[in-house]
Amino acid sequence: MTPVDIMRATQGIAHMGAAFYFIPETVEVGKANGLGGLRFYFLGRGGVLGDVDSDVVRSAFGYFQPDLVRKLWESSVTVMSPRAAATLYLSCAHDLGRRQFSAIIGLDGFVDAAATVISAVEGTSLPLFVGVRAEPVPTDTPAAAMHQMVVLRELRGSVHLLALTAVGLNSSLAHAIRRPNDLTMFGYTEAPQITDADRNAWDRAEALTDEILAPAYAALSDPQARALIDGANAMEAALADTASR
């Protein structure tokens, strides 16, 4: 199995790593601490960067319209320190793992395999990933599995932004290509004009993202690759089962 095969077989991590963002339990924690859903998202996810200017957050998040980031970030740092918000936000991810994954057998193998991939990355030019990676991994397996899924999501997302820069594609254009129905939610008032050259650049960025990540996934042994895939599939099924109820 090639590194790209493993990435394709675990691509559900992209949405599973974000599964806790806006669920009622997370929103309630934010509200209880003076932060609405979007503000808790920005401060909690970006809080690992520390008390920085909003432009730093936008550079690490990509996609979002800068004025939206500035408005939400600057109105949130007055309520809670970024690092405290990051710890609290990640605890919501951990709690989701404890609620949904406690019955899954063999998740220790997923946690181990994820740690191998995560530790194989140097992290240069990937500040959001490195910031989340530096946060402590819970000692209980269901929470640790969710934690590592969050870190893996930030890994690919951060590398993706690096690849966009390498091919010369503005992240606002990339967002319009990938999520054309979510422009307003990300702060844009109108859709940009997308050219064939932009779409070709997007394809090159996707291929480059795989290329950059391949050495980290190549660090997995065959049993670890299987554990990563099986664990991701089991967690995706658990989340889907919950969502359908």
pLDDT in tens, 62-81: 988 899 999 999 999 999 99
User: What residue spans of the chain are helical by DSSP H?
Assistant: 3-9, 13-16, 24-32, 37-46, 54-61, 66-76, 82-100, 107-119, 127-133, 141-167, 171-178, 196-218, 222-243
Reported pTM? 0.95
Instruction: Please say whether the dihedral angle defined by the alpha carbons of residues 31, 51, 152 and 200, taken in this order, is positive or negative.
Output: positive
Out of 55-59, 97-101, 183-187, 225-229, which region has the weakest mean confidence (pLDDT)?
Answer: 183-187
What distances in angstroms separate CA 201 from CA 6, 8, 48, 212, one per listed residue?
A: 24, 20, 30, 16
User: Mean pLDDT of all residues in the chain?
Assistant: 94
Number of domains in the chain: 1
% of the chain beyond a pLDDT of 90? 85
* pLDDT number for residue 187: 77
pLDDT in tens, 172-197: 888 889 888 877 777 777 878 899 99
Range of the domain at 143: 3-243
pLDDT (average), residues 87-94: 98
Query: Is the confidence at residue 22, as pLDDT, over 90?
Result: yes
* pLDDT number for residue 178: 84
pLDDT (average), residues 9-26: 96
| DSSP state for residue 192 in the 8-state scheme | P
pLDDT (average), residues 109-122: 98
Query: Is the confidence at residue 206, as pLDDT, over 90?
Result: yes
Task: Show Cβ contacts of residue 239 under 8 Å, excluding neighbours closer than 6 positions.
Answer: 16, 19, 100
Query: Is the confidence at residue 242, as pLDDT, over 70?
Result: no
Query: Is the confidence at residue 214, as pLDDT, over 60?
Result: yes
Task: Show Cβ contacts of residue 212 under 8 Å, excluding neighbours closer than 6 positions.
Answer: 159, 162, 163
Query: Is the confidence at residue 116, as pLDDT, over 60?
Result: yes
Confidence of residue 241 (pLDDT cuts 50, 70, 90): low
Bigger pLDDT: 243 vs 140: 140
* pLDDT number for residue 184: 77
pLDDT in tens, 146-164: 999 999 999 999 999 999 9
